[in-house]
Amino acid sequence: MHRQDDARTLAPAAQAHLRRLAVKAVRAGLRQTAAAKTYGVSVRAVNKWVAIDKVGGLRALKLKRRGRRLGQGGRMRVAHAQRIRSLIVGQMPAQLRLPFYLWTRAAVASLIAREYGITVSLVTVGRYLRAWGLSPQKPVRRAYERNDAAIARWLKQEYPAIARQARRDKAAIYWGDEMGLRSDHVTGTSYAPVGQTPVIRATGQRFGCNMISAITNKGALAFMVFQGKFKAPVFVTFLQRLLKQVVGKIYLIVDGHPVHKSRKATRFAATHSSQLRLIRMPGYCPELNHDELLNQDVKTNGLGKSRPTNRTELMAIVRRHLYRRQKQPQVITNLFHEKHVRYAAS
C-alpha cells in the first residue's frame, strides 16, 4: 500500500483488517514507524492500535459500529430521548398543545425544541424516530365520543357472557352491519411511469346501492343488496330473511345505528324473541365489529376490481361477490382471526 492511499476511504471491514495486519507486523518485530509506512497509515494510528492490542488483544481491534447511537448521545440525553418517545407513543400532538394533527418530523422537532430548547433538523428527527423503533404509518380514526370504559366492559364482561348464554341456548352469533357503495369508488394501485399518475376510464355518472350483511365465526353469511336509504322496514325485511335462512336461535350483534334501535325493529325482535335476540354493541367502536371486515372485502375485492356503468351492474357485481363468499366459508372464518376482532374467533 502506498502512502498516498488514505486508509479512511476504505470500507470498515477493510480498515479492521488493516489494523490487525499492522499490529501483527509490530508483534513480529517491525518498528511502528516502518509499519505505518508499509500500510499507509499514520504513526499515531499505529501507536494507538498497539496500545489497544496490549490491553485487549487483536479482538479489541475488530470492526465496531460507527457513528453515534441516536437517542443515546448527541445533543439529547438518554432520559430526554426516552421521554420524547413516550410522549409520541402515548399522546397526539393536539393533546400536548402542539399545532399539528399528526406526528410528523416537524411536529417531533417542535416538541423537542419546546421541551428541551434543542433545535434539530428534520433529517436528524427522522434518524431519531428510526432509532426509537417508530415508522410512518396510516393512522386509524377513532371517534372522540367513544366510551373506552364501556368498550373495555364489552370485551371483558359483556361479550363473554353473551357467548356463554348463546352456547346454552344453542344459538348462532351473527355480527351484522350495513354500508353504502358508490360507482366512483377506486381502490388498489396501478403501475405507471414515475411522476405520471395513472388514469382509469369509468362512467362520469354517479350512482350507488346499499347492502346489509351478517356473518358468524363458523363461516356463515347472510346478505341483502338494496336501493334507497337504510330504514327500519329494510332492516326488518332483512331480519325476516335471516330467520327463514337459519335453523335455530340467532343472536344478532349490531352497532348503535338509529335503525337498530327503532321501534319497529325492537318490536319485531320482541315478537320473535324465541328465535331472535338483538344485541347492540357500545357506540363508536366499528373496529370491534367483524362484519366491517366483510364490508372492506366487498369494496376492495368486489367493487374495487370492476367498473360498473349503471346501478343494475353495480348491484349485480356486489351480489356475485357475496354469493362467492357464501361458498367460501373459510374466508369468512379468517376474518375473525384479525388481531382487533380475535376476541370472538371461537
Q: What is the pLDDT along the chain (346 residues), one digit of tens a residue?
A: 444 456 667 777 888 888 889 999 999 999 999 988 888 889 999 999 998 888 888 888 876 665 555 444 457 888 899 999 999 998 999 999 999 999 999 999 999 999 999 999 999 999 999 989 999 998 888 777 889 999 999 999 999 999 999 999 999 999 999 999 998 877 777 788 888 888 877 777 889 999 999 999 999 999 999 999 999 999 999 999 999 999 999 999 999 999 999 999 999 999 999 999 999 999 999 999 999 999 999 999 999 888 899 999 999 999 999 999 999 999 999 999 999 999 999 8
Distance CA 317, CA 180 (A): 14
Residues 49 and 106 in one domain: no
- So what's the pLDDT on residue 73? 45
Q: In what order do the strands lie in the sheet with 208-215?
A: 221-226, 208-215, 172-182, 250-254, 276-280
- So what's the pLDDT on residue 90? 84
194 inside domain? no
Residues 157 and 44 in one domain: no
- So what's the pLDDT on residue 203? 73
232 inside domain? yes
Residues 212 and 239 in one domain: yes
Q: How far is CA 118 from CA 6, 121, 124, 128, 305, in A?
A: 36, 10, 12, 14, 50
Strand pairing report for 172-182 and 250-254: parallel
Residues 18 and 83 in one domain: no
Residues 329 and 252 in one domain: yes
Residues 162 and 244 in one domain: yes
Strand partners, 175: 215, 253
311 inside domain? yes
96 inside domain? yes
Cell digits for 218? 363458523
Residues 227 and 304 in one domain: yes
85 inside domain? yes
Residues 104 and 231 in one domain: no
The neighbour count for residue 270, using CB atoms within 10 Å, is 10
33 inside domain? yes
Residues 280 and 325 in one domain: yes
Strand pairing report for 172-182 and 208-215: antiparallel
- So what's the pLDDT on residue 1? 42
260 inside domain? yes
Our count of domains for the chain comes to 3
Residues 119 and 171 in one domain: no
Q: Which of 11-43 are b and which e, b meaning 16 or more Cβ less than 10 Å from the residue's Cβ?
A: eeeebbebbeebbebbeeebebeebbbebbbee
Q: Which range of residues forms the domain containing residue 109?
A: 78-131
- So what's the pLDDT on residue 14? 81
109 inside domain? yes
Residue 221 belongs to domain with CATH number:
3.30.420.10
